[in-house]
Structure 1
Amino acid sequence: MTLDVQFETMLVMTVMGIWLGAAMDTYHRFLGSPRQFRWTHLVNDLFFWCGQGLFLFYVLLRVNEGEMRFYVLLALLLGYSTYRALFQRIWMQVLEWLIRTVIAIYRIIVRLIKLFIVLPLKWLLQVVLALCMILLSTIWRIVYFLLKIVILPVRWLLEKAGVRFTFLGKWKMNIFSSTEKVRDRLKRLTDWFKKRKR
């Protein structure tokens, strides 16, 4: 390994130490520090450190073909210490600002969706529902009127025959018990039609 490669490896590993510190703070910011033991935190920590280890090995592989030396660990510790001393406070402020910005953008998007999509659709559905109710009411009135036109002559004929009732109401029927009276009514009705034709 040449001196240039060693120097590049130390520089890159120092940067990786800074990255590792920032990643740890970001991880704890989103998931929090567990107050008591939980298996979920253990699984999350396992995935986090496996991911960081694989990423670190990939970077080391690209720099010096994956050759591990003692100074590599020293460079990592130097970068991590540098982050804790100089960059931790700045990064946490930037991270909080990024979180607030993302939340604000999310809320704005939600409000815009409600304003330009949800509310117009809701208003349109209300209009369609109102039109359907008006249409159904109009159709019912037309059907009711037609039924009334059809049934009124029948009602009139039945009333002339001795049957009394109210349309779409409480039915009242009074049928003659005597066959003679029914025949008399029918005869009167026939006579009345004859007079009307004259």
Structure 2
Amino acid sequence: MTIEIQFASFITMGIVGFYLGCMFDTNERIIQAIKGSRIVKGLCQLVFWLIQSMVIFYLLVKVNGGQVRLYFIIAIIFGYWLYFLRFRKVYQRILARIIQLIKAILLFIKKTITTIIIKPIKLLVLAFLTVINLVIMMVLKIFSFLLIMIGWLFRPILLIIPKNVRKYLVSLSKMCSKIIERVLNRKQK
């Protein structure tokens, strides 16, 4: 490995250390936001470190063919230390603003979807249900009117029917009319 490749590898690993500091703080903010068990948070941490390891190894392969030297690890530690001392607070403020911006964008998208899609669908469903309710009420009223007309037409026949059967038919008629009234009253409410 030539001096130029070693120097490029050292600088790259210093930048990777800085990057790891940024990603570690980002990961901590994400983990704090996750509402779940320790197992979920632990799995997130494991995935985070696996991804970071793959990023480091990928960069090493690109820069120097994947050779690991002790001073590369020292460069990573130095980059992280530099981030921690000088840039952490600035990055955390920037990260907080980015998170606020993302939340505002997501809230805007949610409100837009609610206003443009969900509310009109709710109104259409409400209008559809109202029309169905009106149709059912009209059918019940027409049915009730027809029953009254049939009862009026068959009233002379009722006079011929014996009293016992007539009492049964009258009670059956009252029961049917009560059921129809309850259905109509329920639909009107």
TM range (shorter): 0.7 to 0.9
The letter of the residue matching 1:169 is K
The letter of the residue matching 1:73 is I
SS in 2 for 1:67: coil
Match of 1:169 among 159, 174, 179: 174
Give the alignment's TM-score, normalised by structure 1. Answer: 0.73
Q: Over aligned residue pairs, what C-alpha RMSD do you find?
A: 2.3
The letter of the residue matching 1:92 is Q
State the partner residue of 1:100. 100
Cα distance between partner residues in 1 of 2:84 and 2:160: 106
Task: Give the ranges of 4+ consecutive aligned residues of structure 1 lying more than 4 Å apart after TM superposition.
Answer: 38-43, 160-167
The letter of the residue matching 2:126 is Q
SS in 2 for 1:169: helix
| Structure 1 residue 56 displacement after superposition | 0.7
| Structure 1 residue 43 displacement after superposition | 4.2
| Structure 1 residue 75 displacement after superposition | 1.6
The letter of the residue matching 1:22 is C
- The CA deviation string for residues 152-186 of structure 1, in whole angstroms up to 9 with x for no partner, is 2211232266756669337xxxxxxxxxxxxxxxx
Identity of paired residues, percent? 28
User: What are structure 2's unaligned runs of at least 5 residues?
Assistant: 33-37, 176-189
Q: Structure 1's 119 and 18: CA in aligned 2 closer, same or farther, altered over 3 A?
A: same
Cα distance between partner residues in 1 of 2:161 and 2:95: 93
State the partner residue of 1:50. 50
The letter of the residue matching 1:149 is M
Quick one: higher RCO (CA 8 Å, sep 6+), 1 or 2? 2
State the partner residue of 2:74. 74
State the partner residue of 1:153. 153
Cα distance between partner residues in 1 of 2:97 and 2:146: 71
Cα distance between partner residues in 1 of 2:115 and 2:84: 45
Name the structure with the higher helix share. Answer: 2
| Structure 1 residue 40 displacement after superposition | 5.1
Q: Structure 1's 106 and 134: CA in aligned 2 closer, same or farther, altered over 3 A?
A: same
Q: Structure 1's 148 and 10: CA in aligned 2 closer, same or farther, altered over 3 A?
A: same
User: What are structure 1's unaligned runs of at least 5 residues?
Assistant: 33-37, 171-198
Aligned residue runs from structure 1 range 111-130, under 5 A: 111-130=111-130
